[in-house]
Chains A and B, each alone.
Chain A
């Protein structure tokens, strides 16, 4: 157990460590990856909103999983894609008009970047190899991120008059659960099984921009 934890720590450190002589610079591939990631998010977000709509929120929004893993793999590129793709997916699914989607931006950015920040600061392995990696992922990347996102988003709905202040608590709870569950299920799946492929790619960001 100790040996596997030690190995995991070494493996985790090597994923984020820039090796001697390695030059990492933002390039076209990061821009392209951001655009394609936003495209995946648009598809996943639109279909998720249409599949299980509950008024202005979705009972199960897989787009949050895309937001969270994006920043873990691609730093700010993934975070920006995660913040912006809901603008388009909300419009295509009809779940929120443009002004409301713009008001959601801080929430979407926080939901996207929290995991990316946490994995880099705490040097957690994106392949979720140890209990510590899972703790960072679930504690910050899923729960804390969606706590902020749901608080902001539900208050936006109140400000625009889409829900009453008296109903805010129920709306917030629905938003929190509807984002946390898919992030936990689908995000974990992606990190566990797709991260081994991504960490060897040129587009993988060891820091925030490259």
Chain B
């Protein structure tokens, strides 16, 4: 009796991992996703209130889950998130900003100030919001989609070509680097136990083969482009524009136009509210104001 085997889930490789083809993000045109990156990365710039940025981070989490991004892949950023927090709060503890009227906070042998700590908390949450907005984009897009987005926006062919080739080359060199590392491990090298000095020397040994590979590839790729009649103007020899095969595979639909307008409008509203009335300023944060009152300051 034949055993029913579930059909394998088709995955699409992205810059930071792989996402199922059924992800809702792939229903959108790449230019919508690129505008999403720019808007989501820019929104926290206008928001200082930690509660608002935390709500924004929650929205990003919903997008990660809704987009079917494997959250386990975000674990590589955990050490960075923690070291950034440690670093920022250590700095504010050891070297806080001070001005007349600042409320002191004594933590053991250290004295910091409420205003300095408040700014650090707000900045940390803001930076995390910007960071994860960017990680969301790179977790759900491939370099071809970045290319399509740039070409849809009529970015010059040379610029979009360079961006696409750079990102593709990064992937190739990552693979080369992995091969070099595997060869080392196969020969018994444990790089994690090396001292910083020895790791430095190791980096030097990686750089030389990576560069020589890059030099050889540059010759090969430019010869291949020349042989196929490519020029950086994006035109063919007869003067006409080269057909953009990659861009032709994606269609901009009404939902893309609506979403782009909505996102840009949302950014404009947030920016206007903050710049004109300080809607998302620190002074409007209920938690920070409550903390200030608890410390005995007016707020």
Interface residues of A (CB under 8 A from B): 27-29, 31-40, 42-44, 46-48, 50-56, 60, 62, 65-66, 81, 84-85, 88, 91-95, 97-100, 160-167, 170-171, 182, 185-186, 189-190, 193-194, 197-198, 201-203
Contacts and interface: CB of A to CB of B under 8 A. Distances in A.
Interface residues of B, number: 73
A55 B203 contact: no
A46 to B, nearest CB: 8
Contact of A98 (B15, B130, B203, B214): B130
A34 B159 CA distance: 11
19 contacts: A29-B219, A35-B161, A35-B162, A42-B170, A53-B79, A54-B83, A54-B87, A84-B166, A91-B138, A98-B41, A99-B42, A99-B45, A164-B92, A164-B95, A165-B97, A166-B96, A182-B203, A186-B203, A203-B219
Interface string B75-115: 01101110110111001101111100000000000000000
B230 interface: yes
B289 interface: no
A40 B79 CA distance: 24
A159 to B, nearest CB: 11
Interface of B: 15-16, 37-38, 41-42, 45, 76-77, 79-81, 83-84, 86-88, 91-92, 94-98, 116, 119-120, 122-123, 126-127, 130-131, 133-135, 138, 158, 161-162, 165-174, 177, 196, 199-200, 203-204, 207-208, 210-212, 214-215, 217-219, 221-222, 225-226, 230-232
B222 A56 contact: no
Contacts of B127: 97, 100, 160, 162
Contact of B214 (A37, A56, A92, A193): A37
Given A93-B80, A186-B207, A32 B215 contact: no
Contacts of A189: 204, 207-208
